[in-house]
Structure 1
């Protein structure tokens, strides 16, 4: 299982390295984007960073790769010289946790859902290249926690088995800004890390949970992509749901993964909008969905096969009972010693 963690994380990191190249061709560029007077999004190489600035200090969400943390800190200091007091990791992938060790050594307190700590601990145990212990969150939670910081209530909550098994979203309740982590790729097909607890149904449910919490005026910082809106999140939910239903229909109709992966009509309306232009291609996404459908329907398929076999057995028994009695003659009187003619 741990080898799967490392493989999946390595695969994702290589994808994100390609995805995060800027138009200038530079290896690493950053951009600070003002979401409102207190909240900023920082884009660079890796997942989008969320930042809350205030008199008490800086509240940070995710920190991209270790190699970029120096530039990220320089960008942050253009807004505030206050220390980064708190950091929340939305999940364990290295493009969201790579700067943990540096920030921890500088006094930042790191928080995460408890499965993030377990995943990172597993990587430390298995990785041949030394990973510093400081990368680990020091405070973990199971379902949710609340900060009262920089003059507002900040609600952090777990969404189950979505992008991974340790995803958290962060909602700035007064600012009405939501950071989704990688449970939302704005305008692109998402990466669902099924080897590390992610699932398409959990992903859909996670977005649904967010939509119940926020409103049409909420600004959304996605894990990847531009700042989004309530409608953007609705579109992502619709995209996932409709593709999931279409793939399920083809699966029930006995289409193979190879056949489904090449069916352009399943995703055409979204491909036309550029959803397949990210590091997760249309084909890769369809394969992920197909595998998830197959896994979820496996118990149903097994029960259906058992029922089929039972029906066949019953039909054979009925046929045997209804078939003509062969090689059997009616009983005849046999005379014995006491019989009288």
Structure 2
């Protein structure tokens, strides 16, 4: 722990993290199956595999929370964190990478996660440049389609899904425990989905990812979303149906020749606004606008020559 604390001295002082106060954030643990737990704090939900082979975490939130995350893991299993698996490249899921990497954890992610984290990236929607991650925080093991870990009495399958939330998303499935961590391909109750089109995300990819996930997790299984409480397979089915329905409504209004403002005004999310938070990070109008921007070029009639 002392080593982690020393590593964090420089990390916490960085401009990106200094803007937020994490001192009051509590990292809470929920055990959901033998050898599997979830950590809730600030940022993306963290999955934890623990047991005789050591600890594996899926995502690691923000750098200043590393001591709290480490303490929460140790409250379940005192062994070191051997592996960090990133479900995608966003900072609220990878912010702890550098500290855990310097402390000896092996970081694993899709090829595109390392590619995006290795360079400075200007985000139009955030209007800021996201600095490249230091070498210690980069994935050192990457995959194109997937990989399997045989640890803690379970087979943990990692499956890449194309162009969903981003172009580097991974689903992480405990085959024995029947638990699936979906990263930000699944937002449950807390907000409407964030589709990062600048990072290769798409509504069609999100729908396909949810369908793939339904083919992986078995009845009775539990699903860890990127944000929100632990869900059931039935919750995931409802989420998939919601995405399909809203996309169809937006597409129909686009085909009718309506403008973006008219599509938003048609309130295609109305049937779900009582089930999904309308005050979360992605509000209904923004979700619809993002979908419009993606679908409009695909659906508009070809110009006659």
Q: Does 1:65 align with 2:68?
A: no
* TM-score when normalising by structure 2: 0.88
Query: Out of 45, 48, 51, which is 1:51 matched to?
Result: 48
Distance 1:193 1:130, change over 3 A: closer
Q: Give, in angstroms, the shift of residue 131 of structure 1.
A: 4.0
Q: Give, in angstroms, the shift of residue 274 of structure 1.
A: 3.2
**1:42-121 alignment to 2 at 5 Å?**
42-121=39-118
Contact 2:118 2:132 in 1 (8 A): no
Tell me whether 271-280 or 235-244 shows the greater mean CA deviation: 271-280
In 1, distance between residues paired with 2:137 and 2:121?
Answer: 9
In 2, distance between residues paired with 1:140 and 1:254?
Answer: 44
In 1, distance between residues paired with 2:132 and 2:44?
Answer: 23
The residue aligned with 2:139 is 137
Unmatched tracts of structure 2, length 5 or more:
1-15, 123-127
In 1, distance between residues paired with 2:93 and 2:185?
Answer: 13
Q: Give, in angstroms, the shift of residue 129 of structure 1.
A: 6.0
Distance 1:163 1:288, change over 3 A: same
The residue aligned with 1:318 is none
Query: Out of 217, 232, 237, which is 1:234 matched to?
Result: 237
Aligned length: 282
Give SS of 1:134's match: helix
Contact 2:119 2:132 in 1 (8 A): no
In 1, distance between residues paired with 2:106 and 2:222?
Answer: 26
Distance 1:138 1:257, change over 3 A: same
* TM-score when normalising by structure 1: 0.79
Q: Write out per-residue CA displacement over residues 144-173 of structure 1, whole angstroms, 9 at most, x where no aligned residue.
A: 111111111110010000000000010000
Q: Give, in angstroms, the shift of residue 27 of structure 1.
A: 4.3
Query: Out of 145, 164, 172, which is 2:166 matched to?
Result: 164
The residue aligned with 2:221 is 218
The residue aligned with 2:286 is 284
Contact 1:124 1:133 in 2 (8 A): no
The residue aligned with 1:191 is 194
In 2, distance between residues paired with 1:109 and 1:235?
Answer: 35
In 2, distance between residues paired with 1:195 and 1:130?
Answer: 16
In 2, distance between residues paired with 1:60 and 1:116?
Answer: 17
Give SS of 1:224's match: coil
Contact 2:120 2:131 in 1 (8 A): no
Higher helix share: 1
Unmatched tracts of structure 1, length 5 or more:
1-12, 310-341
Give SS of 1:215's match: coil
